[in-house]
Structure 1
Amino acid sequence: MTVALQASLVGVIVGLVIGALGAGGGIIAVPVLTYLLGQSPHDATSGSLVIVGLTALATLPAKYRLGQVRLRQGILFGALSAAGAIIGRIANHHLDGHLLFVSFSVLLLVVSVLMMRNARTQRRTEQSAASPTRQLAAQDTDRPGTDSAVGSSPSPISLIATATLTGMLTGLFGVGGGFIVVPILMLVLRFTVREAAGTSLVVMVIASAVSILTGLAAGQFHVDWPVVLCFLLGSTVAARLGGRLSQQVRQSTLSFLFALLVFLIGALTLTQTLLAAG
């Protein structure tokens, strides 16, 4: 199988994940670019930024038309994440490749556990909303474009801290940060699952763009464009399918399956990195 075909096929998986969950594309892209497509850790994180940012951008219009994007809140969160993205991108080029991937693997394992817990919470909410006495309330809460899902605003300090952390992870590891943004928007701003996933795309686009510009300004942004473009071909097309899939399948089921995938990737990446270091 050629490298171009491999990149396109894996791009399909990444696109499905971003389209369905609004998160997680970079988590898959970085280890795949390194271990399957033979790129260095630093080049893989650079390529992942391009893939995640453009795939999120391609998914955004459809989510917006469905009323699942709160643009103002997304732009605010994304703008606040810019400083963290700059710091993370600078730190990326001062870390040893093995240390970078050990840290990334640990991040994957932690995220997988958190997402499994979130999937269980989503399933309980879905089961509760499906009961006859609560169906009407559930429909009102999850109707695209409704404002009833928004709760009280978070404190400025917690919002800035969370956004900065999201930006740092984006710049450092080449991930979009959606796996942090989605639960934060749900828990703090009381967004529905679909609104949080849609709005997180705005944050991913902004944080990725800032990280890319920071790398370019420092002359430390290297991308294998033929591979990345093949990857993008698969991911941008599949992202639209992922958006449709999210309307047909229980969100808790998607979240659980993705959490399992992240755990396996994290375990394999950590094992490969430690073996290579030995």
Structure 2
Amino acid sequence: MSLLGAAGIGLLVGAVVGALGAGGGIIAVPVLTYLLGQSEHAATNGSLVIVALTAAVALPGKARRDQVRWRDGLVFGAMTTLGAVPGRLINERLDAETLFLAFSALLLTVAATMIGSSFRDLCGGGSAGAGPCSPGETRGTPRRSPVLVAGAAAVTGLLTGLFGVGGGFAVVPVLVVAMGFGIRQATGTSLLVMIIASGVSILIGIARESFVLDWSLVLLFAGGSMVGGVLAGRLSQRVPSAVLSATFGVLVGIVGMITLVRTAAGV
């Protein structure tokens, strides 16, 4: 596929990130591999750059709408470094087939979690008298264990370093299900976490001299992705929160099934 095609696909990936605050990496990795001819490990490297740049462009729009919880995002993002180093080391040692089979299993698990949570998208967990959550409203923040938050952040960093996906697909469910965020604040805050987690993984790869990729292709992909992220971020404000959550889950599930079938078939 041409470099122009890479930019066009990037536009679609950016639309996913801008609308959902996550999901760009889970699409970018299979696209870079199956459509743009990159090796599995080169695809995970390129995905980190694409997701980090797209999230950086989409973040200001979310912040202007007061959909970014900066303190929680910075703390959570900083703690992802606990898992980023081992994740990167594991990535370098796994063969391509094992890497993508694990990737598929993870995506299907996340899909099931998010689709289930979309059916409970009422304030107070659907208790009597509770209305739908308004944009940016939390579900009622539970008492959070510092150990739980640190563990979730470390796992996010591990997944980012291992699969090169930015971590947004893991951050959004954690912020919604475990930390009581509304879906819009979760998607906005996840962009900040994605920038930190992706940046750390990139730096680790560079330091270990294992960060090799096709820069011209990746930057064109990222350029299209950044444009798509800005445009979709505006449109997403008109979509109900439950629809965003369900859409995210369905998207992850589709990508997970495609990746599983192609990897198992050796395609």
Contact 2:117 2:177 in 1 (8 A): no
Partner of 2:134: 142
Cα RMSD of the aligned pairs, angstroms, is 2.2
Write the deviation string for residues 210-268 of structure 1: whole angstroms up to 9, x where unpaired. Answer: 00000000000011111111111111011112211221112322332332232222222
**Which has the larger displacement, 243-252 or 206-215?**
243-252
Any unmatched runs of 5+ in structure 1? none
8 Å CA contact 2:21–2:168 kept in 1: the answer is: yes
1:54 aligned residue: 53
Deviation at 1:275, TM superposition (A): 1.9
* Partner amino acid, structure 2, of 1:195: Q
- Amino acid across the alignment from 1:193: I
> 1:38 offset after TM fit, Å?
0.5
Amino acid at match of 2:134: D
> Aligned residue for 1:270?
260
1:232 aligns with 2:222: yes
Aligned to 2:85: 86
- 8 Å Cα contact 1:153/1:188 also seen in 2: no
Identical counterparts, % of pairs: 49
- How far apart are residue 150 of structure 1 and its match? 5.5
Residue type of the partner of 1:41?
E
Return the alpha-carbon distance in structure 1 between the equivalents of residues 135 and 31 of structure 2. Answer: 36
Partner residue of 1:161? 151
Q: Which whole-Å CA distance do the structure 2 matches of 1:183 and 1:261 have between them? A: 14
What is the CA distance between 1:276 and its match in structure 2? 1.7
Rounded Cα–Cα distance in structure 1 between residues aligned with 2:143 and 2:72: 10
Q: CA deviation at 1:143?
A: 5.5
Q: Deviations over 1:115-152 (max 9, x none)?
A: 21122222x56xx79x9x766xx5xx6365x7x76624
Deviation at 1:153, TM superposition (A): 4.2
Q: Which amino acid aligns with 2:79?
A: L
Query: What is the CA deviation profile of residues 76-101 of structure 1, one whole-angstrom value per residue up to 9, with x for unaligned ones?
Result: 00000112111111110000011111
> Counterpart of 2:213 in 1: which secondary structure?
coil
- Mapping of 1:37-52 within 5 angstroms? 37-52=36-51
- Letter in structure 2 aligned against 1:92: N
Letter in 2 for 1:81: T
User: What's the TM-score once normalised by structure 2's chain length?
Assistant: 0.92
Residues 1:256 and 2:255 are matched in the alignment: no
Aligned AA for 1:71?
W
Larger radius of gyration: 1
C-alpha contact (below 8 Å) 2:135/2:184 kept by paired residues: no
Specify the SS of the correspondent of 2:66. coil
TM-score of the aligned structures, taking structure 1 as reference length? 0.88
- The whole-number CA distance in structure 2 between the counterparts of 1:155 and 1:262 is 28
2:182 to 192, 195, 209: 192
Q: Per-residue displacement from partner, 1:177-216 (whole Å, max 9, x unpaired)?
A: 2222222222333222111111111110000000000000
Partners of 1:15 and 1:276 lie apart in 2 by: 28
Structure 2: runs of 5 or more not aligned = none
Q: 3-state DSSP class of the match of 2:93?
A: coil
Distance 1:215 1:28, change over 3 A: same
CA contact (8 A) 2:18 2:229 kept: yes
**1:213 aligned partner:** 203
Work out the number of aligned pairs and report it.
Answer: 266
Which secondary structure state, in structure 2, belongs to the residue aligned with residue 142 of structure 1? coil
Cross-structure match for 1:177:
167
Match of 1:63 in 2: 62
Contact 1:86–1:171, Cα closer than 8 Å, also in 2: yes
Give the conservation status (yes or no) of the 8 Å contact 1:170–1:211.
yes
